[in-house]
């Protein structure tokens, strides 16, 4: 039976996600190593004066095929790691309502919170950012639950531009995080870290596929915003 202690759940979540996060973070380095080895192999083949042009072409193709197979395996591993991270963080962020009576009370509380919030927005007495920051200042978790459930739908129905909806979502996540239980706070942090690592892993893999498919060698494979890893 899952623990009801948020700190225990945070500890268990950290154990669940650590390997998959590490895998995503390692992909750009693995790609850098693979491309360096492939280039070294190709260079050695081209410099070998004992080989005929046909033999060189065959060996270069063999090296490209082997490297492409490794890139395919890395791609599948990256997808699997990200899917596992998504499952674990989604489970951690799922609101727990307990039994039927507790669930009914929770839903009523959410409905009341949204009714108050919607009245403020409809009347113009508060803007979306003001509603969010006021809820944060008051430590009002019920209003945050209501905003997460209803705000985006409300904004779309009101004709808000996509930029405003995205900005509200980001502000909501930022302002709510200090109020979250340890396991949910870790889940949010893990979501952000996973998306960043998946981005750089995907970029590195795409660069490798392009080069191995006959494109020009890429000068660097980025592992993060602050780091460029040389592959030669």
- Compute the distance between CA of residue 21 and CA of residue 194 in angstroms, rounded to an integer: 6
Task: Give the model's pLDDT for residue 183.
Answer: 87
SS (H, E, C) 92-123: HHCCCCCCHHHHHHHHHHHHHHHHHHHHHHHH
CA angle 127, 129, 130 (to 5 degrees): 65
Our count of domains for the chain comes to 2
Asked, for residue 1, whether it belongs to a domain, the answer is no
SS (H, E, C) 63-81: HHHHHHHHHHHHHHHHHHH
- Compute the distance between CA of residue 232 and CA of residue 18 in angstroms, rounded to an integer: 30
* Pair 166, 108 in one domain: yes
Cβ-based burial of 6 (10 A; exposed 0-12, middle 13-18, buried ≥19):
middle
* Pair 25, 131 in one domain: no
User: Which residue range forms the structural domain that includes residue 192?
Assistant: 6-93+187-230
Contact partners, residue 173, CB within 8 Å, separation at least 6: 188
- For the question of whether the overall pTM of this predicted structure is more than 0.85, the answer is no
* Pair 145, 223 in one domain: no
* Pair 166, 113 in one domain: yes
pLDDT along the chain (232 residues), means of 10: 74 91 94 94 94 95 95 96 93 68 79 95 95 94 90 94 93 88 89 93 93 74 52 40
- Compute the distance between CA of residue 7 and CA of residue 185 in angstroms, rounded to an integer: 10
Task: Give the model's pLDDT for residue 91.
Answer: 85
* Pair 153, 200 in one domain: no
């Amino acid at each position: 039976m899952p623990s009801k202690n948020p700190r225990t759940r945070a500890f268990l979540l950290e154990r669940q996600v650590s390997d998959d996060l590490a895998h995503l973070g390692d992909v750009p380095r693995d790609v850098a190593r693979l491309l360096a080895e492939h280039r070294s192999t190709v260079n050695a083949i081209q410099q070998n004066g004992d080989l005929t042009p046909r033999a060189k072409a065959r060996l270069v193709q063999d090296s490209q095929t082997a490297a492409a197979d490794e890139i395919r395996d890395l791609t599948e591993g990256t997808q699997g790691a990200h899917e596992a991270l998504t499952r674990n963080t989604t489970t951690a962020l799922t609101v727990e309502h307990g039994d039927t009576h507790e669930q009914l009370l929770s839903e009523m509380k959410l409905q009341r919170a949204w009714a108050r919030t919607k009245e403020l927005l409809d009347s113009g007495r508060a803007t979306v950012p003001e509603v969010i920051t006021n809820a944060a200042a008051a430590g009002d978790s019920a209003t945050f639950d209501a905003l997460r459930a209803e705000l985006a739908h409300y904004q779309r129905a009101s004709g808000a531009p996509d930029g405003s909806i995205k900005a509200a979502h980001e502000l909501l996540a930022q302002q709510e995080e200090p109020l979250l239980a340890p396991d949910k706070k870790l889940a949010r942090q893990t979501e952000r870290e996973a998306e960043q690592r998946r981005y750089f892993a995907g970029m590195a893999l795409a660069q490798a596929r392009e080069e191995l498919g006959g494109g020009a060698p890429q000068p660097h494979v980025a592992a993060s915003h602050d780091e460029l890893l040389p592959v030669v």
